Structure 1
Amino acid sequence: MAEINVPAAGGNKAGGRRSKKLSTRVDLTPMVDLGFLLITFFIFTTSMSSPKAMKLNMPDDTDPTVPDMPVGKSTALTVIPVNGNRIFYYHGDLKDALKEEAYGTTNYSMSDGLGQIIRTKQLALDKTGKRKDLVVMVKPTPESNYQNVVNVLDEFLINDVTRYAIMDITPEEKEIALAKSAGH
């Protein structure tokens, strides 16, 4: 609240009357109280951002009696993230893919990137009724970074790919992936 302090009437002086300057004082205590109430309100009503995690199932590789899971060549897609946000991919077996030119290089673009490659593979498998059998193998190179792998996993989540594996890359695959992706 504002208050005005008026001094008591003084003696009469000769000459014209001067207007007296009045002193004003504003009490800011209610404003501070309101500020703290608002801060408290926003702290209690704001939800903190919760971390988001993607479920990643890894096989138990400690048991040598468990056989490797067979994957059909027609349902396999291998994705190799390389440096520079590029991805080398091939369908089926590497040697067969090189002979049949069933490989390529892409990026993370929304219109013609990795997501489009996955959707094209899914549509091809829909014709044979084997969409659920699609297995995507991710083989990151040492030149790729962690964000590249996360982007690939995000594309799997967006395109509803439920069967995928993160695997070690062979020296042959690394050499071919780096050579083929360097040309683009």
Structure 2
Amino acid sequence: MQNLPQKVRSKKLNSRVDLTAMVSVSFLLIIFFMVVGELSKSKNMKFGKPDCIDEYPRTGCYMHDERRVMTLLLDNNNKIITYTGLLFIPIDAPKEVQYGKSGIRKVLLERNKKVLDYSAALGKPGRGVTVIIKPSKNSNYGNLVDILDEMKITGITSYSVVDYYTPEESKLLASK
């Protein structure tokens, strides 16, 4: 017998393609277009004017939150002048009060109760009075500490210490 030449079979190459990189790129493109689509949407903010409850010729509008603001002017000789609202159209006219339980503490508790009742009637319960404390250059550090203690005692958490006086407030301090 003769040896017949055997047919040489060609080896089949592995035709498998690794698509891992393609999947990663496609996910990155999907995420990119989702983010771009979300960021390109217009964002509009509602810009509104506060509701007026009364019309006044000088201001044009008497806003709800003016009833929530109480200003304390601190001066020398333990003098405190309080008013509520704006000075030129006050809700509570400016008056001088003393430090202590029957003075400023009583005024703060009464005003906070009125504001809490008023806020509850508007459908915004729990919004108490906001106190603006304005110590003058003549007031001493102890008076400021006493007022901050009164804020803690009365439970008023919304207050601010400001060192700016309007000309009307300066006249008021000079006259009282």
State the match for 1:126 in structure 2: 116
Structure 2 segments unaligned to the other structure (5+ residues): 1-62
Instruction: Report the alpha carbon displacement of residue 170 of structure 1 after superposing the two structures with TM.
Output: 1.8
State the match for 1:106 in structure 2: 97
Amino acid aligned to 1:109: G
3-state SS of 1:92 partner: strand
- Partner Cα distance (1:131, 1:177) in 2: 32
Deviation digits for residues 44-78 of structure 1, max 9, x if unmatched?
xxxxxxxxxxxxxxxxxxxxxxxxxx992100000
| Larger strand fraction of residues | 2
Q: Structure 1 pair 84/154, CA: closer, same or farther in 2 (3 Å)?
A: same
Answer yes or no: is the 8 Å Cα contact 2:112–2:128 preserved in 1. no
Instruction: Report the alpha carbon displacement of residue 177 of structure 1 after superposing the two structures with TM.
Output: 2.2
State the match for 1:7 in structure 2: none
TM-score, structure 1 as length reference: 0.54
Please tell me whether residue 140 in structure 1 is matched to residue 131 in structure 2.
no
3-state SS of 2:127 partner: helix
Instruction: Report the alpha carbon displacement of residue 115 of structure 1 after superposing the two structures with TM.
Output: 0.5
Match of 1:96 among 54, 76, 89: 89
Please tell me whether residue 170 in structure 1 is matched to residue 161 in structure 2.
no
State the match for 1:16 in structure 2: none
Amino acid aligned to 1:147: G
**Matched positions, count:** 108
- Partner Cα distance (1:144, 1:118) in 2: 20
- Partner Cα distance (2:126, 2:80) in 1: 22
- Partner Cα distance (2:84, 2:73) in 1: 12
Deviation digits for residues 133-155 of structure 1, max 9, x if unmatched?
41100011111010010000000
Q: Structure 1 pair 151/145, CA: closer, same or farther in 2 (3 Å)?
A: same
Answer yes or no: is the 8 Å Cα contact 1:82–1:178 preserved in 2. no
Structure with higher RCO (Cα < 8 A, 6+ apart): 1
Please tell me whether residue 86 in structure 1 is matched to residue 82 in structure 2.
no
Amino acid aligned to 1:73: E
Further displaced range: 136-145 or 164-173 = 164-173
Q: Structure 1 pair 124/95, CA: closer, same or farther in 2 (3 Å)?
A: same
Instruction: Report the alpha carbon displacement of residue 101 of structure 1 after superposing the two structures with TM.
Output: 5.7
State the match for 1:155 in structure 2: 150
Flag as ranges the 4+ runs of structure 1 deviating above 4 A: none
Answer yes or no: is the 8 Å Cα contact 1:71–1:135 preserved in 2. no
- Partner Cα distance (1:94, 1:80) in 2: 12
- Partner Cα distance (2:126, 2:76) in 1: 30
